[in-house]
Chains A and B, each alone.
Chain A
Amino acid sequence: AQSVAQPEDQVNVAEGNPLTVKCTYSVSGNPYLFWYVQYPNRGLQFLLKYITGDNLVKGSYGFEAEFNKSQTSFHLKKPSALVSDSALYFCAVSSGGGADGLTFGKGTHLIIQP
């Protein structure tokens, strides 16, 4: 069975500082890894994904994530946080060649303080 762990319920960062939201995963075979963001009263929005290739992937709104196979991690990062980045962030994994539905972590609240 596949699983995702997001160890932090909440991450607080000052505006302009770099941010990291942590994610580790467990899956049989090659992982397909995703980050989604959820704003209040809105659906989940895709941010970025890793399927193969470069370990550092870039996504929407200046976010990036680094795939680390040995640590089974896929941490989300941004060099300079904006107040508008405040939201709920979900890490997700799929296996089976990516044809399976997603298994999500429990989410991390990111709060950017002005």
Chain B
Amino acid sequence: EAGVAQSPRYKIIEKRQSVAFWCNPISGHATLYWYQQILGQGPKLLIQFQNNGVVDDSQLPKDRFSAERLKGVDSTLKIQPAKLEDSAVYLCASSFPGQGLIEYFGPGTRLTVT
């Protein structure tokens, strides 16, 4: 079974530029999550999708971050414009109700904003 795929793995941009990350969850996983992991901290949930609907985006900075999961499969997270404090690893995870709430994580995208 293929795992959660993310691209790109690394991205360097200047502040005020825009950037997009892509995630393809494990096949059949209805729930998809985006987390932000700043160096030295634990991951923080940004947004949770159930199929193509948003379940929780309470911690998403909506003035600059957006995410979509149009067909209920893969997802894109966008930052526009980026700030220095957005430098972090962006993790995508997916889960399936029948697997006991376990979240399966992708390798992450490391974003550096200069």
Which of B13-21, B42-50, B64-72, B73-81 is near enough to bind chain A? B42-50
**Set A34, A41, A101, A104: member contacting B48, Cβ < 8 A:** A101
| CB pair B105 A44 closer than 8 Å | yes
B interface footprint on A17-48 (CB within 8 Å = 1, 0 otherwise)? 00000000000000010101000011111100
**CB-CB < 8 A to B88: which residues of A?**
none
Q: How large is the interface on B (under 10, 10 to 19, 20 to 34, 35 or more residues)?
A: 20 to 34
B106: nearest residue on chain A (CB-CB)?
A43
| CB pair A43 B4 closer than 8 Å | yes
B4: nearest residue on chain A (CB-CB)?
A43
| CB pair A101 B33 closer than 8 Å | yes
Q: How large is the interface on A (under 10, 10 to 19, 20 to 34, 35 or more residues)?
A: 20 to 34
**Set B45, B55, B103: member contacting A46, Cβ < 8 A:** B103
Chain B residues near A (Cβ < 8 Å): 3-4, 33, 35, 40-45, 48, 55-56, 91, 93, 100-108
Chain A residues near B (Cβ < 8 Å): 4, 32, 34, 36, 41-46, 49, 51, 90, 92, 94, 98-107
Sampled A-B contacts (29; CB under 8 Å): A32-B101, A34-B102, A41-B107, A43-B4, A43-B105, A43-B108, A44-B43, A44-B93, A46-B102, A46-B103, A46-B104, A49-B101, A51-B100, A51-B101, A92-B42, A99-B55, A99-B101, A100-B48, A100-B56, A101-B33, A101-B48, A101-B103, A102-B33, A102-B103, A104-B42, A104-B44, A106-B40, A107-B41, A107-B42
